[in-house]
A and B are shown apart, each in its own frame.
Chain A
Amino acid sequence: MQYTLGQTQLDTIEEILQSDVMDLGVTCVVLIDMSGNIIAHLDTGEIHHDIYSLAALAAGNFGAVSAMAKIIGEEEFSLLFHKGTKENIHFSKVMDDFLLVTIFGKAVSLGFLRMKVAEAIGKIQNILQD
């Protein structure tokens, strides 16, 4: 897979992630590709997670989960979510080659987050397809 994103596209992606996802009150949102590269990253500025390692692991994890789905005869799992005591993490596929990873605390409801993430993904797809 080869792709190039210009500054305008990256700016627009960040704007979408800010208004649709960050403004919900999430801690951090990262758009990565399936190779584990970071395309866009936004956070509240209060956390210092190692997002490069997170991206590598998220891409690997997503690949592993997709392979598990195929073994049991599913095309893919629609909800990928890990719940912690303080922070939770949600993964959502963007087309075939990208993944949106959102980290959020107790203040954000999963249902609402999923809805807003789906909206954001719809907009991001339009940019990535261009």
Chain B
Amino acid sequence: MAFVNMKKKEIQVKIVYYGPGRGGKTTNLEYIYGRFNERIKTEMVTIKTHGDRTLFFDFLPFDIGKIKGYDVRIQLYTVPGQVKYNATRRLVLRGVDGIVFVADSMAIRKEKNILSLKNLEENLTAYKKSIHQMPVVLQYNKRDLAEQGIPLLSYETLEETLNSKLKAAAFPASAISGKNVVTTMKKIIALTMASLEKQLS
């Protein structure tokens, strides 16, 4: 749960980008970092393996200004997507306030998306949280690959396989070109802030 500092009038909010390996979670954060470079005062922290895959997490903090007199500090995290790193994923999820699930639109990744979403549900249960009771936004990434003739899952198929029960907001996106990256982020921030307001009141 977000930490509210009454003394400094500051709220720290944790948003985690979750999803299968090589799905574009880090690319989302890199795009945001590049786009809002002037407003983000600190460096983006990444812990990668030699093969350039996320080993532990990426971390990007920034301020979004004041809400009801409180300075709101958003902290974006990614998790390592590879199946073997579940212990690390669970660590990063601790205290999460909102989740962006970055799904891979490539047809060959259909199963991986489903497994990753199931894994997210299980890991949240470990913290006594339910995916159905917290702010979640889905992002169907890599839509740009259609231009290169790579077979993609249709928006409808993705909705059916991942979002039929969740019924969360979902955006087709291309993290590499930035399409809908900011929209996704704005949506999860809005949902998370609304949910926090409800919890705090």
Contacts and interface: CB of A to CB of B under 8 A. Distances in A.
B76 to A, nearest CB: 10
B43 interface: yes
Contact of B95 (A5, A11, A35): A35
A10 B6 CA distance: 8
Contact of A34 (B43, B61, B77, B94): B94
Given A1-B1, A60-B91, A53 B6 contact: no
A33 B3 contact: yes
A38 interface: yes
Contacts of A5: 5-6
A39 B5 contact: yes
Contacts of A56: 45, 57, 59, 61, 75, 77
A60 B77 CA distance: 11
B192 to A, nearest CB: 14
A19 interface: no
Contacts of B42: 50, 52-53
Interface in B80-119: 87-88, 91-92, 94-96
Interface string A5-42: 11100110000000000000000000001111111000
B7 A11 contact: yes
A39 B3 contact: yes
A19 B13 CA distance: 30
B59 A33 contact: no
Nearest to B42: A50
A64 interface: yes
A35 to B, nearest CB: 2
Given A37-B12, A53-B42, A53-B45, A7 B94 contact: no
A60 B7 contact: no
Contacts of B88: 64
A34 B95 contact: yes
A35 B14 CA distance: 8
A2 B94 CA distance: 12
B179 interface: no
Contacts of A4: 4
Interface of B: 1-7, 12, 14, 42-43, 45, 47, 56-57, 59, 61, 73, 75, 77, 87-88, 91-92, 94-96
- The 4 A-B pairs at the shortest CB distance, nearest first, are namely A35-B95, A37-B3, A63-B91, A10-B7
28 contacts: A1-B1, A6-B6, A10-B7, A11-B7, A33-B3, A34-B94, A34-B95, A35-B96, A36-B14, A36-B75, A37-B3, A37-B14, A37-B95, A38-B5, A38-B12, A39-B5, A50-B42, A52-B73, A52-B75, A53-B45, A53-B59, A56-B57, A56-B59, A56-B61, A57-B59, A60-B47, A60-B57, A64-B88
Given A7-B7, A60-B92, A64-B91, 4 more contacts: A5-B6, A35-B95, A53-B43, A59-B94
